[in-house]
Amino acid sequence: QLQASGGGLVQAGGSLRLSCVASGRAFSNNAMGWFRQVPGKQRELVAVISGGGNTISADSVKGRFTISRDNPKNAVYLQMNSLKPEDTAVYYCAASRYYYSSHYDEYDYWGQGTLVTVSS
């Protein structure tokens, strides 16, 4: 139901924009978010956006990443600027059962993941 795209290989300092389009149901009243995971580590929050558009971001990406949503398109985006090698991960979009949530275990709908690789 969630299809993520936009990952790829980029040099440090570069930018990427991830997109996630939902199908099958509307998520305009649900929190949506981006999480990332590297092998051997727990999945971590990158940024989430509430049904009303309020956002939170991980400290590690503040000032560099921006989450946004387009409810008519049933989509959420992650603009990533000033990328660093430590941003390398598989990025997952997700939709929560709640209007607002920052806990990944409250997200019931997950995309397939898109790989972001940042070279130094």
User: Cβ(47)–Cβ(35) under 8 Å?
Assistant: no
Is pLDDT of 5 > 90?
yes
Which residues does residue 57 pair with via DSSP β-bridges, in sequence order? 47
Q: Is the pLDDT of residue 2 over 90?
A: yes
Average of per-residue pLDDT across 45-61: 96
**pLDDT tens digits for 58-113?**
999 999 999 999 999 999 999 999 999 999 999 999 999 999 999 989 999 999 99
What is the tens place of the pLDDT at every residue in 8-23? 999 999 999 999 999 9
